[in-house]
Amino acid sequence: MLIALIGFAQNNSGFKVHEWGTFTTLQSSNGERLSGLQKDEETLPSFVYNIAHSYYYNGFLFGPKGFMENTWFEHVTVKMETPVLYFYSDSMKDVSVNVNFKNGSISQWYPERADGESTQYQSHLDFSQPRTGWIKWNATVLPPNSIANYTDSSGLETPQWIRPRATASNLVQGSNGEIEKFLFYRGIANFDVPIKVEFNTSGKLIITNTGSDKISYAVVYEKVIGQQANIWWSGSLDGGTIKIVCKPSTATSASDLSDEMTRFEGALVTAGLFDDEAQALLSTWQESYFQHDGLKVFWLAPRSFTDTILPINITPVPQDLQRVIVGRSEVLTTQKEQELKQGSDSVFWQTYGSDRFSEAYWESRNKTITSWTNLDGSCATDVPDLNSANLNLIQIFPNPVSDAITIQSTFNEATYLRIQILNSLGVEVYNITETANGNYNKIISLREYASGIYSVKIQTDKNISCTKVIKE
């Protein structure tokens, strides 16, 4: 009864739209993102539309799900999974929703779209090349007292499809009459995420917020089949900061694990979701995310990052639009990488051919990793940045800057030096590696860069520093 009353209050407080979804990546032990993530994580109901025009007839599938299976994919490094849009309105309302996907393709959706990117078959899709996926719906938000039924009631729904329905949101009717609790879409892409996860030479996990915006919540979550999940660390990450995390020496207790999931839910609510929406998100991904083996970092994407990668336009403009995207960075341990290299190719495909990450595992199998970061320090601590302890070692000026920055320091011996500049999305726009000795003076022109906040990341033999520079 309480949920119903809350839903009624929400629906009568104005036109609201809430969204949640996930961005999934897979990283090698040294922090390199792997490609080959075009495989579906969870099977969608057969009534979901997709860019390959596959369909069911008398229980048989004609045509593959998602993209054509015989399409040659390259450089798919991100899976966008289960974004759902919920609508809250105290009356019936016609809406138009347009979503663009930077460097991606929206491959599956429901209800039927009004328009979108081409469904013409392509034999080769290289996601390292610039592209923009997009979708448009013309839909009707039904009134909160609507007794309409879901269009598809034939029992084809999967648990992952049903669970997002458990909210107090209005029903939505697509332009061809299909009724559902939400607008749904899914896609694949290639873009940089504002977080890097890697191991150092001593086996500690190094988490870097490569963007300038704060990541309000992150948790390192390890699951071994047959065992309870283990929490390594959770907390927030300011822009440009680095966290050093160690594997705990004792297993996480059941009560501590429950407390962490409560914190996770609370972080989703703080980010903008209603309680029932946050619960629906966590429930939807129980099997695939939380019960599936592996080491992963869950993190809440900054809103500015979501709006840049996934710009949305809704007409009429809602009084409140909340978008909560959970990043999921799967990380290969050095042990897992060694396992992937064992045996013959045929044995590999027999073992991993049906795995959701089979193509990425194959890429890992054929990679030789020879170096990891030597950054070290105490567990669960932040690495000092250029704004504090290292300011007397390396200086960056002027700041703000309109033309060029100067990096100055003095090194008593030959020192490996790597300088990276990343924009506000964490995308690398400058990179140089050289050896410095004695007085060091480096001038880098920013004249052609767009105005905004940039992160200057400097790695030496002994540490990594990061500071923010404002380009006017």
Tell me the CATH number at 403: 2.60.40.380
Q: Are residues 447 and 326 in the same domain?
A: no
Which of 1-15, 32-46, 247-261, 341-355 has the weakest average pLDDT? Answer: 1-15
Number of H helices, E strands in the chain: 8, 28
Judge residue 114's burial from the number of C-beta atoms within 10 Å of its C-beta, 0-12 exposed, 13-18 middle, 19 or more buried: middle
pLDDT of residue 276: 97
Q: Is residue 359 domain-shared with residue 410, that is, in the same domain?
A: no
- pLDDT, position 65: 45
Residue 2, pLDDT > 60, answer no
> Average pLDDT, whole number, for the chain?
87
178 shares a domain with 47: yes
Examine residue 370 and state whether it is found in any structural domain, yes or no: no
Q: Which of 222, 216, 198 is nearest to 296 (CA)?
A: 222
Residue written as token pair 């490609």: 35
Tell me: do 399 and 269 sit in the same domain: no
- Percent of the chain at pLDDT > 70 equals 89
Q: Which of 73-77, 101-105, 293-297, 433-437 has the lowest mean pLDDT?
A: 433-437
- Considering the domain boundaries, does residue 319 fall inside one? yes
Residue 13 has pLDDT above 60, yes or no: no
**Six-digit token string for 92:** 């019936």
In a domain, 373, yes or no: no
Q: Are 225 and 246 in contact (CB under 8 A)?
A: no
Q: What is the pLDDT of residue 383?
A: 63
- pLDDT of 394 above 90: no
Phi, psi of 419 (to 5 degrees): -115, 125
pLDDT at residue 399, as a whole number? 85
- The confidence score (pLDDT) of residue 386 equals 31
Last residue of a domain, one of 330, 365, 400: 365
In a domain, 376, yes or no: no
**Residue 461: pLDDT band by 50, 70, 90 thresholds?**
low
Identify whether 428 is part of a domain: yes
Q: What is the mean pLDDT of residues 107-114?
A: 94
* Domains: count for the chain: 2
Q: Are 32 and 146 contained in the same domain?
A: yes
Three-state DSSP class for residue 252? coil
Among the residue ranges 67-71, 124-128, 131-135, 321-325, the one predicted with the least confidence is: 67-71
Q: Say whether both 305 and 404 belong to one domain.
A: no
- pLDDT of 12 > 50? The answer is no
Cα–Cα distance measured from residue 215 to residue 238, given in angstroms and rounded to the nearest whole number: 6
Residue 18 lies in a domain: yes
Per-residue pLDDT band at 435 (split at 50, 70, 90): confident
Residue 461 and residue 313 share a domain: no
pLDDT beyond 50 at 17: yes
Average pLDDT over residues 355-374: 88
Angstrom distances, CA of residue 444 to CA of 45, 423, 430: 53, 15, 9
Strands 215-223 and 230-237: antiparallel
Indicate whether 145 and 198 sit together in one domain. Answer: yes
> Which position has the token pair 């991904």?
285
Indicate if 339 and 409 belong to the same structural domain: no
Of 337, 365, 393, the position where a domain reaches its end is 365
Q: What distance in Å separates the CA atoms of residue 65 and residue 41, rounded to the nearest whole number?
A: 12
Lowest mean pLDDT among 1-5, 101-105, 199-203: 1-5
| pLDDT (tens digit per residue) in 129-182 | 999 999 999 999 999 988 888 887 667 888 999 999 999 999 999 999 999 999
Neighbour tally for 104: CB within 10 Å: 25
Quick one: 316 and 412 in the same domain?
no
Domain that holds residue 67: 2-365
Per-residue pLDDT at 400 = 87
**pLDDT value at residue 69:** 56
Q: What is the mean pLDDT of residues 213-224?
A: 96
The pair phi, psi for residue 338, each rounded to 5°, is: -70, -40
- For the cut 50, the answer to whether the pLDDT of residue 6 exceeds it is no
- DSSP 8-state code for residue 249: S
Confidence of residue 66 (pLDDT cuts 50, 70, 90): very low
Tell whether 377 is covered by a domain: no
The pLDDT confidence band at residue 292, using thresholds 50, 70 and 90, is very high
Instruction: Pick the more confident residue, 225 or 155.
Output: 225
Shared-domain flag, residues 294 and 411: no
**Ranges 98-102, 144-148, 309-313, 465-469: which has the least confidence:** 465-469
Predicted local confidence at residue 393, as pLDDT: 61
Q: Are residues 395 and 427 in the same domain?
A: yes
Domain annotation covers residue 372 = no
pLDDT band, very low/low/confident/very high, at 235 (cuts 50, 70, 90): very high
Q: How confident is the model at residue 423 (pLDDT cuts 50, 70, 90)?
A: confident
Contacts of 235 (CB under 8 A, 6+ apart): 217, 218, 243, 380
For residues 421-428, give the mean pLDDT: 83
